[in-house]
Amino acid sequence: MDADESVYAAILTRVKRPELDEQLHAVLQKEYRSIGRQVRRASSSLAAVRKLQAAAEFLRPSGDWQPKTLQTHLKRME
């Protein structure tokens, strides 16, 4: 059982139904916002990588200047 599950279990054993609903709603809202931020960051990072890749292909279609690790990373992200 991880830390979050322990917190949820403790909440379930201590509070009545209306209080539980409010607390769980607050936790879910917090998690939702956190996930939303992570998705937005990942999305903007991926867009930046795609722009970089497009610019690299425009400048040198062979891509031979790119370090192997960058090429591998870009291919994995596709």
43-70 pLDDT per residue, tens: 888 888 888 887 777 666 555 555 566 6
Among 45, 55, 41, 54, smallest CA distance to 77 is for 45
Overall pTM surpassing 0.95 (yes/no):
no
Q: Which domain holds residue 15?
A: 3-77
DSSP code at position 68: H
* Alpha carbons 76 and 58: distance in angstroms, whole number: 20
Task: Judge contact between 15 and 23, C-beta under 8 A.
Answer: yes
Give the per-residue pLDDT at 6.
82
Residue with tokens 């949820």: 8
Q: What is the number of domains present in the chain? A: 1
**Is 16 strand, coil or helix?**
coil
